[in-house]
């Protein structure tokens, strides 16, 4: 529905050509802006209602006062894996978690995993690369979220949240406490919850427009075949270079899988291609711009730096493991043909 509206607005009303870079970029900008603003508003309302009736301080206290042996990171990463959001679309829910005071490490576990793994991308992966590679990718994506969230949580980075978020947390806590004491009915709570949700939307609107504007430019104007020249198997630094080149890009997992298929078909090692994909969908310049409203640049730098390092390590590991599996498969295939030849003799 949103895509149809964006198509109508850009191609019918504005008269832009869908086959041009400008038309594609403007269409992407309107579609993603509308989608993220709607998501942000409704998720903010839902989180406001949850916080009003089920004070999130209890969940926060439960997560911080009990030994869960890392299960909190697993469940956060798993929740990220079943939510079909890209990196920018994950941020509204991330803001909701931070607003409620959920431990930052647990919240990061969700933010890391959500864009990397979702059901649409998994279905496309199985059809393109088979069950074995898909399983390795999904498991490593969830593990990346868990480990990344755990390390970021241990670094005690809460002081680097923005003053805007801290103010929202304070207001949310005071409102829910007053309502609980006075037994305020839902119809009187809802207008205040919606007003706060609209305040959150207005607070991040400029960052959304800038972030998606950058993403739209990349989407429309980066020439096809630009990356292949830097990602060949002959370059030992292809993995880190592909990750660094991917960070300014912006796409969801479903949109990037066909690109990865082309990369692999052109001889780029699959581990390098997967590292590129993870960096595109999990770390992007538009995402950093959106996060600026929630975090200081220092926290954004720590988050991006750590996850970039992990993705580079995973890229090399993918190449080693998947090349070994392909080598073993070739040996088994050759032995099978050899035995068949003996039988026929």
- DSSP per-residue letters across 19-84: TSHHHHHHHHHHHHHHHHHHHHHHHHHHHHHHHHHS-HHHHHHHHHHS--TTHHHHHHHHHHHHS-
Q: What's the whole-number average pLDDT of the chain?
A: 76
Q: What is the mean pLDDT of residues 163-185?
A: 63
How many Å apart are CA 121 and CA 114, to the nearest integer?
Answer: 11
pLDDT at 169: 63
pLDDT at 84: 61
pLDDT at 145: 92
Looking at 10-19, 195-204, 221-230, 301-310, which range is the least confident one? 221-230
Tell me how far apart the terminal alpha carbons of the chain are, to the nearest angstrom.
Answer: 64
* Residue range of the domain that includes 97: 2-344
- Reference 148, options 100, 102, 114; nearest CA is 114
Residue 330: count of CB within 10 angstroms of its CB: 10
Q: What is the mean pLDDT of residues 325-338?
A: 55
Q: Is 50 left (phi over 0), alpha (psi -120 to 50) or beta?
A: alpha
Q: What is the mean pLDDT of residues 307-314?
A: 91
Confidence class for position 247, pLDDT limits 50, 70, 90: confident
Higher pLDDT residue, 266 or 224? 266
Higher pLDDT residue, 205 or 219? 205
Residue-wise DSSP of 282-311: HS-HHHHHHHTTTB-HHHHHHHHHHHHHHH
Q: What is the mean pLDDT of residues 295-310?
A: 90
User: For the chain, how big is the Rg over CA atoms in Å?
Assistant: 23
What percent of the chain is predicted at pLDDT more than 90?
7
Let me know: does 257 contact 125? Beta carbons within 8 Å: yes
- Reference 30, options 63, 8, 47, 50; nearest CA is 8
pLDDT at 52: 65
Residue 277 pLDDT exceeds 60: yes
pLDDT at 309: 92
Total domain count, the chain: 1
pLDDT at 144: 92
Residue 112 pLDDT exceeds 60: yes
Q: Is 15 left (phi over 0), alpha (psi -120 to 50) or beta?
A: left
pLDDT at 313: 92
Instruction: Of 17-31, 239-253, 302-316, 317-331, give the range with the top mean pLDDT.
Output: 302-316
Residue 118 Cα to chain centre, angstroms: 10
pLDDT at 23: 86
Higher pLDDT residue, 129 or 254? 129
pLDDT at 146: 93
The pLDDT tens digits for 48-106 are: 776 666 655 555 565 555 666 778 888 888 888 877 666 666 777 777 777 767 788 88
Let me know: does 240 contact 272? Beta carbons within 8 Å: no
Please state at what angle helix 104-116 crosses helix 270-282, rounded to 10 degrees: 120
Confidence class for position 152, pLDDT limits 50, 70, 90: very high
DSSP state of 9: I
């Amino acid at each position: 529905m949103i895509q149809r509206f964006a198509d109508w607005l850009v191609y019918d009303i504005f008269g832009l050509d869908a086959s041009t870079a400008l038309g594609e970029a403007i269409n992407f900008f309107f579609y993603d802006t509308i989608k993220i603003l709607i998501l942000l508003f409704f998720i903010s309302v839902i989180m406001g209602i949850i916080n009003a009736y089920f004070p999130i301080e209890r969940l926060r206290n439960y997560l911080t006062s009990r030994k869960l042996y890392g299960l909190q990171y697993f469940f956060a990463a798993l929740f990220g894996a079943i939510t079909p959001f890209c990196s920018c679309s994950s941020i509204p829910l991330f803001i909701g978690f931070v607003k409620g005071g959920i431990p930052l490490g647990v919240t990061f576990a969700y933010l890391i995993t959500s864009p990397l793994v979702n059901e649409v991308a998994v279905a496309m992966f199985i059809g393109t690369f088979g069950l074995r590679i898909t399983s390795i990718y999904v498991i490593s994506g969830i593990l990346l979220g868990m480990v990344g969230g755990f390390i970021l949580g241990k670094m005690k980075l809460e002081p680097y949240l923005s003053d805007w978020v801290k103010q929202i947390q304070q207001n949310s806590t005071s409102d829910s406490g007053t309502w609980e004491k006075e037994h305020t009915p839902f119809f009187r709570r809802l207008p205040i919850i919606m007003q706060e949700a609209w305040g959150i939307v207005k607070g991040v609107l400029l960052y959304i427009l800038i972030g998606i504007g950058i993403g739209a430019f990349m989407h429309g104007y980066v020439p096809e075949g630009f990356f292949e020249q830097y990602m060949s198997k002959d370059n030992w630094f292809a993995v880190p270079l592909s990750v660094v080149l991917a960070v300014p890009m912006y796409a969801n997992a479903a949109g990037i899988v066909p690109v990865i298929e082309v990369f692999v078909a052109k001889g780029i090692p699959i581990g390098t291609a997967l590292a590129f994909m993870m960096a595109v969908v999990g770390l992007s310049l538009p995402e950093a711009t959106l996060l600026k409203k929630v975090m200081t640049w220092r926290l954004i730098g720590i988050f991006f730096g750590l996850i970039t390092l992990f993705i580079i390590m995973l890229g090399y590991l993918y190449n080693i493991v998947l090349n070994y599996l392909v080598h073993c498969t070739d040996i088994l295939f050759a032995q099978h043909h050899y035995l068949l030849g003996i039988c026929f003799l």
